[in-house]
Structure 1
Amino acid sequence: MLILLPPSEGKSDAGDGPPLDLGALSLAELNPARERVIAALAEVVARPESEARAVLGLSATQSAAVERDRVLATAPTVRAAELYTGVLYHALRLPELLAGSTAEAVRDSVLIFSGLWGAVRVTDRLPPYRLSMGVKLPPLGALGAFWRAEASQALTKRAEGRLVVDCRSAAYAAAFRPDAATAARTVTVRVLREARQADGTLTRSVVSHMAKAARGEIAHALLAAGAAPATPRELAGTLTDLGRRVELTAPARAGRPYVLDVVVGD
């Protein structure tokens, strides 16, 4: 099983490890592309702050994010498991998983996507940074398209023979779109909120903020249980056994992933 996650905007700034060592990161074949993104980002943040913020999509209150990107090479690092602190990661509780008997499986089973790094493992040490996959970074262009061209081969190889559980948001899904063979083993996780209306009818809607927590909880449940489903149907059955309400939909045409709806209430 391979779980694909987005990063989070919320990040720790409490790194205490050595400076960045690209050679120590997972997916070493991405390092030439990572070096290009780092160099392009360095050129952007060397501009006046207002110009840098405009490129990076940051507000006037986010000056600290620009400064973080200016000191990437020398800043202390922290494991990705502790770097990302948003809603999904609060629910996922990676440090807890890495402290127990599930540690090896978690290291092998989770990839976190990033506009700066492409994709990393949870134990990779990274400096705090800010670079969304949705940024158009001169001269590389849209980072989603850049990483799709640079990383698809390596990611397809990493996913070979494994069930892929895709918990990414749309911006990060753009960085890797499974080929037909991989898509047949891929499940896109969607979260639906079910609510009862005043007339007694039940309605469902796609949610965003709640979806982050639900995806984190789903990933935690699978990893904590040591689950190893090999097919989309086995995944749905495993989650049902773990007390989750899920519905699996097969793709409408070949070459597309399955969709797993996680149904949550108010």
Structure 2
Amino acid sequence: MLILLPPSESKWNRPRGGPADPATWSFPELGPVRAEVARALSGVSGSPDAAAVLGVSEGLLDEVARNLVLDTLPATPAAQVYTGVLYDALDLASLDTAARRRANRWLVVVSALHGAVRPTDRITAYRLSMGVTLPGTGPLAQHWRPALDAPLRAAAGSGAVVDCRSAAYAAAWRPGRDLAHRWMQVRVPGASHMAKHTRGLVARHLCVEGVAARSVPAVAEVVGRAFDVELHEPGRPGAPWVLDVRAP
């Protein structure tokens, strides 16, 4: 199974420790594109119009400045770097050993800077979102799309793809028509802030239950053990199934 997550805007970083080593990260084939995006981000982050290009307020310029020294800051597991509503609900630190092992294998965070990382990859807190257009790369979702296809297909294997991403990050990779019958988007009707919370709970529940489902209906059955769910078939060829999830 592959469970796709968005990153969080809020991030935390260890105050001490050695720097990140990109050679140790999952999906090493993304290395060249990671380096391109990192160079472009560094160039923008040191410019006078950094806040405008990155789409952040002037009050976040201290975080933007961190982008200039990402290769020297202490490395922190991605499971700890990403914080916020979804990750609070996911609460990886509280999982038992078996569930955490599954989480480390099934969860993939789609990142504007790194493309894709697993919870154990040691990265550093950064300020960049997928909706940004960097000089030299163009729109980031479009820039990442061809690079992400092969590694995420391999990560999915023969299992279901459970998509908990927001729209901006979903644009960076869509499973092809040959995988669409195993692709399911998790939707939380009538919710915005709570949608992140519910998606985090769904991802946690799947890791705890430990059923490596290969079909969308099988995933829906597992999620339905803890939530009120309604599964919708794809509306057109190549589109995902949609699982509406409501907390009971």
TM-score, L = length of structure 1: 0.90
Cα deviations across residues 178-217 of structure 1 (Å, max 9, x unaligned)?
Answer: 101111101100001xxxxxxxxxxxx3x21110000001
Q: For residues 202 and 172 of structure 2, what CA distance do their matches in structure 1 show?
A: 22
1:261 is matched with which residue?
244
2:205 is matched with which residue?
221
Q: For residues 89 and 152 of structure 1, what CA distance do their matches in structure 2 show?
A: 25
Deviation at 1:222, TM superposition (A): 1.1
What SS does the aligned partner of 1:246 have?
Answer: strand
For residues 4-43 of structure 1, the aligned pairs below 5 Å read 4-43=4-43
Number of aligned positions between the proteins = 248
Task: Specify every segment of 5 or more residues in structure 1 that has no aligned partner in the other structure, as ranges.
Answer: 193-204
Q: For residues 84 and 171 of structure 1, what CA distance do their matches in structure 2 show?
A: 17
What SS does the aligned partner of 1:112 have?
Answer: strand
For residues 230-249 of structure 1, the aligned pairs below 5 Å read 230-241=214-225, 243-249=226-232
Which of the pair has more CA radius of gyration?
1
Q: For residues 184 and 101 of structure 1, what CA distance do their matches in structure 2 show?
A: 28
Q: For residues 263 and 95 of structure 1, what CA distance do their matches in structure 2 show?
A: 24
Q: For residues 33 and 170 of structure 2, what CA distance do their matches in structure 1 show?
A: 18
TM-score, L = length of structure 2: 0.96
Deviation at 1:15, TM superposition (A): 4.6
Residue 71 (1) aligns with residue 55 (2): no
Q: For residues 67 and 199 of structure 2, what CA distance do their matches in structure 1 show?
A: 28
Task: Specify every segment of 5 or more residues in structure 2 that has no aligned partner in the other structure, as ranges.
Answer: none
Deviation at 1:126, TM superposition (A): 0.5
For residues 181-196 of structure 1, the aligned pairs below 5 Å read 181-192=178-189
1:212 is matched with which residue?
196
Q: Is 1:80–1:122's contact at 8 Å kept on the other side of the alignment?
A: yes
Q: Is 1:191–1:264's contact at 8 Å kept on the other side of the alignment?
A: no
Q: Is 1:159–1:182's contact at 8 Å kept on the other side of the alignment?
A: no
Q: For residues 144 and 92 of structure 2, what CA distance do their matches in structure 1 show?
A: 25
What SS does the aligned partner of 1:180 have?
Answer: coil
Q: Is 2:232–2:242's contact at 8 Å kept on the other side of the alignment?
A: yes
Q: Which amino acid aligns with 1:91?
A: A
Q: Is 2:112–2:140's contact at 8 Å kept on the other side of the alignment?
A: yes
2:102 is matched with which residue?
105
Cα deviations across residues 83-122 of structure 1 (Å, max 9, x unaligned)?
Answer: 011100000001223x522232111100001100001000
Q: Is 1:160–1:182's contact at 8 Å kept on the other side of the alignment?
A: no
CA RMSD of aligned residues (A): 1.3
2:139 is matched with which residue?
142
